[in-house]
Structure 1
């Protein structure tokens, strides 16, 4: 059978080596896509693109629909005439994002650009902006939410005055008028984000590169989603979660993980025809060609923890919406090009749900060597319908991972690869590309042979994550051609 064997690279746009201290949707993004083309890659996987909240995590955002304003390329705003020429007088650290430093300067520049646009932009551009506002249903709630957060000094929405926390109609009207300029700034930022992202999507499509996105199953409590639709979540009369998400105790944690996200009221969602999820998937497919769904197992059953509990020990498994949700969404949107993140404690009901729709699951090579030949993450045990990764954003780099292994595990890796381990990142890439998995995704850190200092995220640590950036001179023609040779060798 002639299968559609493909491969790609995992890189979040914040990691691009752009001026201004953070990656953006500007020229460096196009250079990266040029590199993917030279390297024979047909996929670019990104992390969630939303406005990151606590800990700068893209998996904890102020909105499940909005884009991150920090990704906006200011040079394009200069070209639009909304900003004066940029002066690069801030000493940003090399190799990582200082989010506080970036945010302080960038949000100021974006507000300046918004004021200029609203005051001076020509009619044609303003008509484009208003079309965006009129056709983006979630936009006003999000813009008002962010304006209110600034107005109330960053407090969580349930700590705002009751009238606006509970969205009383008179209060919504009052604050929409009072905070009009700030709301306009937020809408301008979203307009610019989406128009810039569309240009990147078009550029990628011109090179026949598809973009694989990512959506977390849960949303942050302090988000426009929960504030605007409290009836879709398990909250008490004061707007506080009664139960929260997590995972039970396991080999890695005796107390489990208490994530703290509010849990969905699936009965309420079902009675609405799952409209919110239909809109969420529709929005995702406007951003991406296909989507990885984080914590897919939560659709089959999820770990419910009473909000008063300090750990996840005293939780329980609760059935999720299962096939009813996906049948409803597919009935409206058509077949869903999803990747199911099926890592962790996976039970037969999760596998049945995944396989019912032929959603490919994930295989992580770094998980393959802690047991015997039956380990499901070893390539000889793969099916075609899966996605193999050397590691994900939550793993160490392959070099960092290998250096941390005990001697016996290292022997297993070397025996399986048939190498001396002197170029372990490349050998892991070779394993992934040579496997029968239809899709292979490689973190850029492994392609560049970087050690653990380039790790993107260390789960369970609230600070210091998500900040890695590569240097512009690390994407070489030599490296691209070497990767392209492997792609050709293994028919991807």
Structure 2
């Protein structure tokens, strides 16, 4: 019989968590990015499989679905942490089935995408053109009014994004910094001339964003009706080759041509002897301070439009970030530079509302970073894969968890738990087994049960762990330029038996809100 620790009564609503907020009760979550959903058209999208996944979560008693950033990605790396925009949605997530269900695509169109005869982008363009022709014929007037209202509501970023993407496509996908100076520097005459022949494409790009937002909100409403919250992710930095930097160059530490003076990364450590160079531009905090960090307020407001909870990736960068000279060959030549974390977080919490932000506080975390997180009452993260190094004071060990936290077996940057366990030495494996709940059961269920037994308010497991998958199912290897972000769930893999098994664990550890047991 497995070990079953009791759950103290005071965990139901500790004094440090206000009532009626996402983490005012114990919850369980599953981490699965939308692109990892099964689809006959390539990567996953916001179509039928997404709704089936929500149904699985509800059946299992899971009340949090965690996803990665939903932004449009660069074709070269497809990383959701290196988006073309911090505010736009990824048009590749637009469901073609949704369009077909509403008469905007034919079965032949879907078959052509599934066979590779046409791309998803071509299918979306066909749908938009059909919609336009029907509007011109006097049809779909209610949807037209909704679309125009949506465009007005998102005017603060939509036009800049569509201009950026249309220009970038017309110039062969090159970075805006390599455009001719008139376009690079956003000269009004140069922009008007370049955009004039791109009006059809601009309309398609605009409607794609409307489709993404409409589909996402419908899915989110469906999840909410079944008690499932959606947990999103906010990368602390943005790509240099993005609409955000092209439009708001003054907000970033750039030279007169728009090139970064310093770039982001982390210093050398056990995993990377030269450190890591991420190449995002740093912020010009003095400029951002002048308008009360309006750029950050707008960004977090958009995330709260999309998500119930938002994780701030690389939270420690709000206290200090590693500045690497743009001319440096490695990250070794960088230095820590203080960030105005209190001011930024004051703006973010005011805009997002208390109780809706989570800090990704992994890595080497200083007392100053911890103090910043606690000052604003943000839950931090614990990862069981980091816990078993033999140090009894390791903060990731289950006995060091606290209520104000989110515990994971592993994250999207880790190997799957089965893959990780296959690589640890025998001594570590014995140490791990000594900490697990029900250690004789098939892995990684004992590790998942240990996460669920934690006092941390939210416990999250990657979908790969529910299926006991090995390293081939890993989502991302940090520092690896290619081959990431491509894992997909097999249709039907998350079945009723897994849902029932998971629900039994969640009920045992009081992670099914409202369950009478």
TM-score grouping bracket, smaller chain normalisation: over 0.9
| Counterparts of 1:261 and 1:126, CA distance in 2 | 38
Aligned residues of 2:319 and 2:341 also touching (Cα < 8 A): yes
Count of aligned pairs: 483
1:32 corresponds to which of 45, 53, 59 = 53
C-alpha displacement of 1:114:
1.8
TM-superposition CA deviations, 1:4-23 (whole Å, max 9, x none): 11111000011111221121
| Counterparts of 2:133 and 2:62, CA distance in 1 | 44
Is 1:477 aligned to 2:477, yes or no?
Answer: no
C-alpha displacement of 1:76:
1.6
| Counterparts of 2:429 and 2:113, CA distance in 1 | 44
Aligned residues of 2:268 and 2:332 also touching (Cα < 8 A): yes
2:480 corresponds to which of 461, 468, 477 = 461
C-alpha displacement of 1:371:
2.7
C-alpha displacement of 1:176:
3.6
Is 1:377 aligned to 2:393, yes or no?
Answer: no
| Counterparts of 1:65 and 1:311, CA distance in 2 | 30
2:63 corresponds to which of 20, 28, 42 = 42
Are the structure 2 counterparts of residues 316 and 366 from structure 1 closer, same or farther at C-alpha, using a change threshold of 3 Å? same
- What secondary structure sits across from 2:241 in the alignment? coil
| Counterparts of 2:47 and 2:281, CA distance in 1 | 35
Aligned residues of 1:50 and 1:67 also touching (Cα < 8 A): yes
408-417 or 461-470, which moves further after superposition?
A: 408-417
Are the structure 2 counterparts of residues 360 and 330 from structure 1 closer, same or farther at C-alpha, using a change threshold of 3 Å? closer
After superposition, residues 349-388 of structure 1 pair within 5 angstroms as: 349-388=368-407
- What secondary structure sits across from 1:56 in the alignment? coil
1:442 corresponds to which of 461, 464, 474 = 461
Identify the residue that residue 132 of structure 2 maps to in structure 1.
118
2:77 corresponds to which of 50, 55, 59 = 55
1:108 corresponds to which of 96, 110, 122 = 122
Is 1:335 aligned to 2:349, yes or no?
Answer: no
| Counterparts of 1:288 and 1:38, CA distance in 2 | 21
C-alpha displacement of 1:116:
2.1
1:423 corresponds to which of 442, 446, 449 = 442
Identify the residue that residue 130 of structure 1 maps to in structure 2.
148
Aligned residues of 2:40 and 2:114 also touching (Cα < 8 A): no
Is 1:88 aligned to 2:122, yes or no?
Answer: no
C-alpha displacement of 1:422:
5.6
Aligned residues of 1:220 and 1:261 also touching (Cα < 8 A): yes
C-alpha displacement of 1:91:
6.5
| Counterparts of 1:479 and 1:376, CA distance in 2 | 30
Identify the residue that residue 87 of structure 2 maps to in structure 1.
65
C-alpha displacement of 1:398:
0.7
TM-superposition CA deviations, 1:241-281 (whole Å, max 9, x none): 11000000111111100000011111111112111100000
Identify the residue that residue 16 of structure 2 maps to in structure 1.
none
Aligned residues of 1:258 and 1:310 also touching (Cα < 8 A): no
Aligned residues of 1:248 and 1:257 also touching (Cα < 8 A): yes
C-alpha displacement of 1:78:
2.1
| Counterparts of 1:91 and 1:177, CA distance in 2 | 34
C-alpha displacement of 1:333:
4.9
After superposition, residues 125-204 of structure 1 pair within 5 angstroms as: 125-136=143-154, 137-204=156-223
| Counterparts of 1:338 and 1:250, CA distance in 2 | 28
Long gaps (5+) in structure 1: 93-100
Aligned residues of 2:253 and 2:281 also touching (Cα < 8 A): yes
C-alpha displacement of 1:384:
1.0
Identify the residue that residue 248 of structure 1 maps to in structure 2.
267
| Counterparts of 1:331 and 1:42, CA distance in 2 | 25
| Counterparts of 1:483 and 1:361, CA distance in 2 | 24
- Runs ≥4 residues deviating over 3 A: 89-92, 329-334, 418-422
Are the structure 2 counterparts of residues 418 and 134 from structure 1 closer, same or farther at C-alpha, using a change threshold of 3 Å? closer
- What secondary structure sits across from 1:292 in the alignment? strand
- What secondary structure sits across from 1:179 in the alignment? helix
- What secondary structure sits across from 2:492 in the alignment? helix
Are the structure 2 counterparts of residues 208 and 91 from structure 1 closer, same or farther at C-alpha, using a change threshold of 3 Å? closer
| Counterparts of 2:371 and 2:492, CA distance in 1 | 46
TM-superposition CA deviations, 1:429-474 (whole Å, max 9, x none): 0100001111000101101111111111111111111111111221
C-alpha displacement of 1:213:
0.3
| Counterparts of 2:192 and 2:114, CA distance in 1 | 43
| Counterparts of 1:28 and 1:79, CA distance in 2 | 14
C-alpha displacement of 1:487:
0.5
| Counterparts of 1:403 and 1:140, CA distance in 2 | 49
115-124 or 318-327, which moves further after superposition?
A: 115-124
Aligned residues of 2:437 and 2:447 also touching (Cα < 8 A): no
Q: CA RMSD in A?
A: 1.6
With the length of structure 1 as denominator, give the TM-score of the two structures: 0.95
| Counterparts of 2:440 and 2:77, CA distance in 1 | 35
Are the structure 2 counterparts of residues 390 and 332 from structure 1 closer, same or farther at C-alpha, using a change threshold of 3 Å? closer
69-78 or 143-152, which moves further after superposition?
A: 69-78
| Counterparts of 1:75 and 1:410, CA distance in 2 | 46
| Counterparts of 2:446 and 2:436, CA distance in 1 | 7
With the length of structure 2 as denominator, give the TM-score of the two structures: 0.91
Identify the residue that residue 258 of structure 1 maps to in structure 2.
277
C-alpha displacement of 1:87:
3.8
C-alpha displacement of 1:45:
0.2
